[in-house]
């Protein structure tokens, strides 16, 4: 062969580093720039990441076109043309062969099955990390016509006005697939159910890991019991939340007493919780929202399981058959507030909010709405409730405790309007005036009949007390210093104990 051999530049000689940020339409000097300009630059730079990832997928797909032939369909060799193509990518990017083969597979899927989604990546309408979710959760679609419909619908949703969190995007993709190709979902779910398992692994320092795969509803049932037990301690319990949950799982599975470890002999925080299967505190509930068509023997619309996400109509039918399942139809009319308290939403309105919102409405938040707080968007008028901020679906939405506190005790603003179809449109405005759209995917996408539910006006009543902002036991920096001091002291004690301990006779 003749000609010049191209040299791949090392990372230290990147072409990017040799250019001014202004050459790419970026701020050249960020020091002292206004807050809103910096936030806009963050958005612009993130869209640039999507554009560059689009380019990487285009290049990978072209490498596949040039280097991978049809013989790969009948080639039984481990090192086939696909493996060698991925090996080239892995070598020049210094990534693993598995990572390179994954990148190549996604590139081919985007080129052949999801070309509209690929354009959304180019246009900054979807983040690079979400592409894995979209590709993997549409992987079982083999019919080209169905694949084109799913691709078009997902792309249309991605181009909606509004923000996405990882869970909302996952739910949107699942809803689309479950609607257009239930057979693919049924096959995937059956394979997953048959592969459920339990395992243990040995870790270092005398620790071990326990794992299990099970159906979504059983996962939620187990998690709720573990979380409930872990919460039955006082604020002086020295364990982290994660450590308490680990200990709670042991108590639940072995029947040992559950105790608070604060050291106070008079502490009663753990009383009332019995870890035995028939003891008090063991009752847990998993909610599932489903259209009545899901009960049909074949077909039907998918449902939603708070804490998990979208489930297929077949999954809903399996849940209906469980002996412990209770079906409660949603009423078409319901009270909006508690009879004696116009500020406090009724149980029916709270249930409606988590069905409608699915998650905290703050952009990017994944906290399930069933664990969120019902917030008055327009502040409740304590003097004259009829004048504004009433307890109604139009003025209320779901916010996790953190974002509820941000809205209540800072200069962040939120707003909510209801369109002609009953769908809420949420916006969040930063203290400097940057407005960000709220969720692009809500319960209305699964259950558009929600707008048929009517709520009665809240009654007049006494105004609530003014909430106090949440506080810490110590300032954030002091808390960090305390943790460091504790860790150092523990290390010193461990060293001193090692120095005073006689060595073993071997």
Work out the pLDDT band at 218, boundaries 50, 70, 90. Answer: confident
Q: What is the pLDDT of residue 17?
A: 77
Q: What is the pLDDT of residue 506?
A: 36
List, for residues 285-335, the tens digit of each pLDDT value. Answer: 778 888 877 666 666 789 999 888 998 888 888 888 888 888 888 888 988
3-class secondary structure per residue, 164-193: CCHHHHHHHHHHHHHHHCHHHHHHHHHHHH
DSSP-assigned states of every residue in 186-214: HHHHHHHHHT--EEEEE-STT-EEEEE--
Burial of 134 (0-12, 13-18, 19+ CB in 10 A): buried
Task: Provide the β-strand partners of residue 334.
Answer: 455
Residue 230 or residue 192, greater confidence = 230
167 and 310 Cβ atoms separated by less than 8 Å: no
Q: What is the mean pLDDT of residues 412-430?
A: 90
> Which pairing describes strands 333-335 and 454-456: parallel, antiparallel, or unpaired?
parallel
Residue 5 or residue 301, greater confidence = 301
Burial of 163 (0-12, 13-18, 19+ CB in 10 A): buried
Residue 358 tokens read as: 């699915």
Q: What is the pLDDT of residue 314?
A: 86
Q: What is the mean pLDDT of the chain?
A: 84
Residue 355 or residue 74, greater confidence = 355
Q: What is the mean pLDDT of residues 469-479?
A: 63
Number of other residues whose CB lies within 10 A of the CB of residue 75: 14
Q: What is the pLDDT of residue 152?
A: 97
By residue count, the chain amounts to: 506
Half-sphere exposure of 498 (CA within 13 A, CB side): 6
Residue 354 or residue 488, greater confidence = 354
Report DSSP state, residue 278.
T
Rounded CA gap, 394 and 454, in Å? Answer: 11
Q: What is the pLDDT of residue 480?
A: 55
Work out the pLDDT band at 272, boundaries 50, 70, 90. Answer: low
Rounded CA gap, 437 and 361, in Å? Answer: 10
List, for residues 71-117, the tens digit of each pLDDT value. Answer: 767 777 778 888 899 999 999 999 999 999 999 999 999 999 999 99
Burial of 29 (0-12, 13-18, 19+ CB in 10 A): exposed
Q: What is the pLDDT of residue 403?
A: 93
> Which pairing describes strands 333-335 and 198-202: parallel, antiparallel, or unpaired?
unpaired
- Write down the residue that tokens 């990882």 correspond to: 166
Q: Which residues contact 453 (CB under 8 A, 6 or more apart)?
A: 330, 331, 332, 333, 334, 352
Q: Which residues contact 359 (CB under 8 A, 6 or more apart)?
A: 165, 167, 168, 365, 366, 367, 368, 369, 372, 398, 439
pTM confidence score = 0.76
% of residues, the chain, pLDDT over 90: 39
List, for residues 38-82, the tens digit of each pLDDT value. Answer: 999 999 999 999 999 999 999 999 999 999 877 767 777 778 888
> Which pairing describes strands 337-338 and 208-212: parallel, antiparallel, or unpaired?
unpaired
Residue 132, pLDDT > 90, answer: yes
Rounded CA gap, 359 and 397, in Å? Answer: 10
Q: What is the pLDDT of residue 492?
A: 57
Work out the pLDDT band at 341, boundaries 50, 70, 90. Answer: confident
Q: Which residues contact 108 (CB under 8 A, 6 or more apart)?
A: 60, 61, 64
> Which pairing describes strands 337-338 and 341-345: parallel, antiparallel, or unpaired?
antiparallel
Q: What is the pLDDT of residue 1?
A: 42
Q: Is the dihedral of CA 131, 132, 137, 139 positive or negative?
A: positive
Q: What is the mean pLDDT of residues 19-26?
A: 83
Residue 341 tokens read as: 């308290």
List, for residues 165-186, the tens digit of each pLDDT value. Answer: 999 999 999 999 988 988 767 6
């Amino acid at each position: 062969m003749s000609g010049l051999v191209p040299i791949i530049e090392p990372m230290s000689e990147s072409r990017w580093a040799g250019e001014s940020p202004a050459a790419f339409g970026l701020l050249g000097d960020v020091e002292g720039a206004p807050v809103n300009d910096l936030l806009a630059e963050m958005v612009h730079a993130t869209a640039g990441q999507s554009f560059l990832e689009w380019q990487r997928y285009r290049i990978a797909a072209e490498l596949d076109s040039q280097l991978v032939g049809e013989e790969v369909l009948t080639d039984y060799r481990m090192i086939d043309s696909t493996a060698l193509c991925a090996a080239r990518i892995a070598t020049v990017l210094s990534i693993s062969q598995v990572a390179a083969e994954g990148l190549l597979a996604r590139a081919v899927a985007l080129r052949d099955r999801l070309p509209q989604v690929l354009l959304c990546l180019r246009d900054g309408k979807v983040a690079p990390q979400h592409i894995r979710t979209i590709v993997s959760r549409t992987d079982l679609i083999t019919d080209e016509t169905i694949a084109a419909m799913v691709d078009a619908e997902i792309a249309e949703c991605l181009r909606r006005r509004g923000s996405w969190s990882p869970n909302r995007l996952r739910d949107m993709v699942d809803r689309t697939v479950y609607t257009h190709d239930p057979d693919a979902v049924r096959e995937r779910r059956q394979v997953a159910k048959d592969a459920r398992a339990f395992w243990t692994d040995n870790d270092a320092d005398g620790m071990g890991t326990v794992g299990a795969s099970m159906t979504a509803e059983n996962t939620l049932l187990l998690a709720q019991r573990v979380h409930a037990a872990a919460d039955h301690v006082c604020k002086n319990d020295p364990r982290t939340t994660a450590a308490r949950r680990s200990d709670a799982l042991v108590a639940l599975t072995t029947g040992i007493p559950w105790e608070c470890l604060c050291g106070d002999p008079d502490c009663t925080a753990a009383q009332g919780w019995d870890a035995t299967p028939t003891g008090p505190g063991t009752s847990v509930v998993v909610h599932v929202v489903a259209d009545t068509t899901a009960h049909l023997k074949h077909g039907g619309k998918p449902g939603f399981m708070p804490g998990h996400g979208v489930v297929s109509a077949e999954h809903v039918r399996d849940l209906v058959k469980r002996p412990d399942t209770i079906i409660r139809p949603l009423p078409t009319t319901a009270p909006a507030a508690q009879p004696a308290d116009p500020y406090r939403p009724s149980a029916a309105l709270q249930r409606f909010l988590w069905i409608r919102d699915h998650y905290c409405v703050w952009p990017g938040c994944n906290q399930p709405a069933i664990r969120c707080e019902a917030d008055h968007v327009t502040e409740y008028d304590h003097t004259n409730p009829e004048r504004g901020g009433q307890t109604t679906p139009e003025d209320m939405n779901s916010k996790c405790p953190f974002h509820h506190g941000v809205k209540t005790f800072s200069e962040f603003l939120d707003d909510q309007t209801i369109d002609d179809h009953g769908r809420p449109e949420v916006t969040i405005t930063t203290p400097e005036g940057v407005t960000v759209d709220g969720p692009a995917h809500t319960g209305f996408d699964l259950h558009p009949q929600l707008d048929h539910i009517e709520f009665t006006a809240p009654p007049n009543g006494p105004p609530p007390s003014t909430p106090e902002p949440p506080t810490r036991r110590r300032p954030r920096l002091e808390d960090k210093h305390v943790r460091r001091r504790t860790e150092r002291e523990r290390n010193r004690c461990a060293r001193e104990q090692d120095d005073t301990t006689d060595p073993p006779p071997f």
